[in-house]
């Protein structure tokens, strides 16, 4: 029988680490803890081994196309394919509430565009009935947006990856040429770069689900809550192990009919298209 395989990106600490820990306890197969820093990844595996868990480590820098391709070749050669993918790797630089172009691009390259590279090289290796969880946030709900043109495009039933890319590129261009409009977003446009990257990620989740529906692959986006991680301003309020429960549920227990949804931190399905809902991220100084 083919061994089942799970992959968690950006998992040497925080939420990703908690997901790996949970999978090691509940997933019947091999679990790959991946991150871009080999030393930190090996140290994370060592810490888990001390409590009797045995994940495997592989270096993976999601922002580096060659690294993603190398990892895909490894998975294909060693396992032939895999069954679970948790796209967790992300950044948020709190220092710039209104980031310059380079900071905005850095956020979007890692939080959104990396998923396009992952889709290119890793999605062909997903086995039928696989489960994919894309880690979004409150910033990833459509209610963060106010620009009517963007809202109309992103709410389209025929939305394409190319259109999502256009949305992202138009935002970046506005930052670059000084035409960024705070009124295009809620909360006076604070951390618009993160809102854009996570909205794009969630929108991509919907597009991907339609593309891979025929293979019964379940692809969902999750807002895990304000998790206590290095990335969380003020330290966060939710323990990573607690936040990981919804993700683990989607992997291990959810109905395979649950597809293309936006899941809130309490496990409830949220209407991603509810642009007037109170789901958007509120920035606090």
Q: Average of pLDDT values for 213-241?
A: 80
| 8 A C-beta contact, residue 250 and residue 133 | yes
Q: Which domains does the chain have, with CATH numbers?
A: 5-270 (3.40.50.720)
Task: Give the pLDDT confidence of 253-272 residue by residue, as tens digits.
Answer: 999 999 999 999 999 999 99
Give me the chain's average pLDDT, please: 95
Question: Rounded CA gap, 39 and 267, in Å?
Answer: 34
* Cα angle value 114/119/120 (rounded, 5°): 100
Question: Rounded CA gap, 249 and 260, in Å?
Answer: 15
Determine the pLDDT at residue 223.
96
Determine which helix (DSSP H) or strand (DSSP E) holds 86, and give its type and residue range: strand 82-87
The end-to-end CA distance of the chain, in Å, is 54
Q: For strand 269-270 and strand 262-263, is the pairing parallel, antiparallel, or unpaired?
A: antiparallel
Residue corresponding to tokens 């959104």: 112
Task: Give the pLDDT confidence of 97-139 residue by residue, as tens digits.
Answer: 999 999 999 999 999 999 999 999 999 999 999 999 999 999 9
Q: Which residues of 53-64 are buried (b: 16+ CB within 10 A; e: fewer)?
A: bebebbbbbbbe
pLDDT range class, residue 32, cuts 50, 70, 90:
very high
Q: For strand 30-35 and strand 269-270, is the pairing parallel, antiparallel, or unpaired?
A: unpaired
Q: Does the pLDDT value for residue 231 go beyond 70?
A: no
Determine the pLDDT at residue 227.
81
Determine the pLDDT at residue 100.
96
Q: Does the pLDDT value for residue 234 go beyond 50?
A: no
Question: Rounded CA gap, 258 and 256, in Å?
Answer: 5
Question: Rounded CA gap, 98 and 87, in Å?
Answer: 26
Residue corresponding to tokens 């820990």: 21
pLDDT range class, residue 2, cuts 50, 70, 90:
confident
Determine the pLDDT at residue 52.
98
Q: Does the pLDDT value for residue 229 go beyond 70?
A: no
Determine the pLDDT at residue 4.
98
CA neighbor of 218 nearest in space, from 261, 163, 248, 263: 261
- Considering the chain, what percentage of its residues have pLDDT values greater than 70? 95
Q: Which residues of 214-243 are buried (b: 16+ CB within 10 A; e: fewer)?
A: eeebbbbbbbbbbbbbebbeeebebebbeb
Q: Reduce the DSSP state of residue 212 to 3 states and report it.
A: coil
Task: Give the pLDDT confidence of 129-177 residue by residue, as tens digits.
Answer: 999 999 999 999 999 999 999 999 999 999 999 999 999 999 999 999 9
Q: Does the pLDDT value for residue 232 go beyond 90?
A: no
């Amino acid at each position: 029988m083919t061994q089942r395989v799970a992959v968690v990106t950006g998992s040497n600490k925080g939420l990703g680490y908690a997901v790996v820990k949970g999978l090691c306890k509940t997933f019947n197969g091999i679990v790959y803890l991946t991150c871009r820093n080999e030393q930190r990844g090996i140290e994370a595996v060592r810490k888990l081994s001390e409590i009797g868990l045995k994940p495997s480590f592989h270096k993976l820098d999601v922002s580096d196309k060659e690294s993603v391709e190398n990892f895909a070749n490894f998975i294909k050669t060693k396992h032939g394919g895999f069954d679970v993918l948790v796209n967790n790797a992300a950044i948020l630089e709190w220092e710039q509430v209104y980031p310059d172009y380079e900071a905005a691009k850095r956020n979007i390259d890692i939080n959104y565009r990396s998923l396009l590279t992952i889709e290119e090289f890793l999605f062909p290796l997903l086995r039928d009935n696989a489960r994919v969880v894309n880690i979004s946030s409150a910033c990833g709900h459509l209610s963060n947006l106010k620009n009517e043109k963007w809202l109309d495009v992103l709410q389209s039933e025929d939305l394409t990856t190319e259109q999502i890319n256009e949305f992202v590129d138009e935002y970046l261009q506005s930052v670059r040429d000084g035409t960024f409009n705070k009124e295009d977003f809620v909360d006076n446009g604070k951390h618009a770069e993160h809102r854009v990257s996570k909205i794009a990620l969630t929108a991509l989740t919907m597009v991907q689900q339609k593309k891979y529906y025929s293979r019964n692959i379940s692809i969902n986006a999750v807002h895990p809550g304000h998790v206590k991680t290095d990335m969380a301003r003020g330290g966060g309020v939710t323990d990573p192990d607690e936040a990981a429960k919804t993700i683990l549920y989607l992997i291990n227990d959810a109905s395979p009919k649950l597809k293309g949804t936006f899941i809130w931190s309490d496990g409830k399905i949220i209407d991603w298209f509810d642009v007037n809902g109170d789901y958007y991220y509120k920035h606090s100084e």
